[in-house]
Amino acid sequence: MQALWHLENIDVTHLLCPNKLGDKDRMTQHLHRTYAKGESFFVPDDLSDRIFFITEGRVKISTMNEEGKEITKAILGKGEVFGEMALVGEERRRDWAMALENTEACVVSLIELNDLMRERSDLNLFFMRIFGNRQLEMERRLESLVFRDSRSRIVEFLVQLTQSKGQRVGYEWVVRKPITHQEIANMTATSRQTVTTTLNDLRFKKLLTFNRSRLLVRDLDGLTAEIRS
């Protein structure tokens, strides 16, 4: 069955990807594209004139600090939108968007998206929620950087990842295709070695297990309690 992202009564996939679903009645400027692993959707200074909706795969959104160090801002997956800053006046991209694996996305021009939003007021609510949720996430990460030590930031990230991307199986949670140790380090402002040490400690405590294909959280409450340690 085709997985669709619904917001109340909005079928966003049908609005943003009608060609993929075989809608021949709506003539659009939508483009359904496949990006190879490592291929960029956009890089800094590219024209900010399109919005992307992921239908398969994963995308990393990152930026560079003044020292040239990469900072990962988000790892996005199926059903998520990026490039939305074009809607609020961004003329040139400030971030870098790259496919972490072979990824399919619907590409919608800013002109057409503005037309859609004039036709569908509920689509405005959809993007308002995206902006609001991402603002809250950035504030949470900033607070974590200020008030938590490296280990607690990593554990807190794992809890958030499990709650947002995980699938519950009995008393356990499974996160499939987890991000790499280096990406966790980039998102928590820690080192890869610290991430590896923390994960190994949590595995020793039997709170989780992990490999390249999945993260299995055996005790989410116990993992959450580690944040306060």
Tens-place pLDDT, residues 19-62:
654 544 444 445 788 999 999 999 999 999 999 999 899 999 99
Q: 123 with 10: CB under 8 angstroms?
A: yes
- In b/e form, how buried is each residue of 29-47, taking b as 16+ CB within 10 angstroms? ebebeebeeeeebbeeebe
Residue 192: predicted pLDDT: 93
Is there a single domain that holds both residue 163 and residue 111? Answer: no
> Above 70 in pLDDT, residue 229?
no
| Mean pLDDT for all residues in the chain | 84
Confidence (pLDDT) at 19: 60
| Full domain range(s) for residue 174 | 149-228
At 30 the pLDDT is 56
| Confidence bin at 145 (pLDDT 50/70/90) | confident
Neighbours of 226 (CB within 10 A): 20
**What is the rounded average pLDDT of the residues 129-146?**
82
pLDDT, one tens digit per residue, over 158-212 is 999 999 888 999 889 999 877 889 989 988 989 999 999 999 999 999 999 998 8
Q: Is residue 206 part of a domain?
A: yes
> What residues are paired with 145 via a beta bridge?
none
* pTM summary value: 0.76
Residue type, 114: N
Q: Are 199 and 207 in contact (CB under 8 A)?
A: no
Give residue-wise pLDDT tens across range 89-125: 889 999 999 999 999 999 999 988 888 888 887 788 8
**Does 15 score more than 90 pLDDT?**
no
Q: Is pLDDT at 8 greater than 50 in this prediction?
A: no
Q: What contacts 10, CB < 8 A, 6 or more positions away?
A: 120, 122, 123, 125, 126
Domain boundary among 145, 161, 195: 145
Handedness of CA 186, 188, 189, 192 (dihedral sign): negative
Question: What CATH number has the domain bearing residue 199?
Answer: 1.10.10.10
The verdict on residue 33 lying in a domain is yes
Q: What angle do the packed helices 121-147 and 110-119 form, to 10 degrees?
A: 120
Is 1 inside any structural domain? no
- Which tops the pLDDT comparison, 131 or 223? 223
Kindly report the length of the chain. 229
225 has a pLDDT exceeding 50: yes
Boundary (domain end) residue, out of 107, 122, 145? 145
Residue that terminates a domain, selected from 90, 125, 145: 145
- With 0-12 / 13-18 / 19 or more C-beta atoms within 10 angstroms meaning exposed / middle / buried, residue 166 is buried
Say whether both 63 and 114 belong to one domain. yes
In what side-by-side order are the strands of the sheet with 96-99?
40-42, 96-99, 59-64, 70-76
- pLDDT range class, residue 5, cuts 50, 70, 90: very low
CA distances from 27 to 13, 14, 71, 104, 105 (A): 16, 13, 39, 20, 18
Looking at the structure, do residues 137 and 154 belong to the same domain, yes or no? no
Best CA proximity match to 129, nearest among 1, 21, 6, 3: 6
Q: What is the pLDDT at residue 9? A: 42
pLDDT on residue 120: 81
pLDDT at 24: 46
Rg of the chain taking only CA atoms, in angstroms: 19
> Is 196 in the same domain as 217?
yes
**Residue 41: what pLDDT?**
96
Higher pLDDT, 105 or 13: 105
Residue 60 shares a structural domain with residue 85:
yes
Number of domains in the chain: 2
Q: What is residue 40's predicted lDDT score, i.e. its pLDDT?
A: 96
Co-location of 119 and 186 in the same domain: no
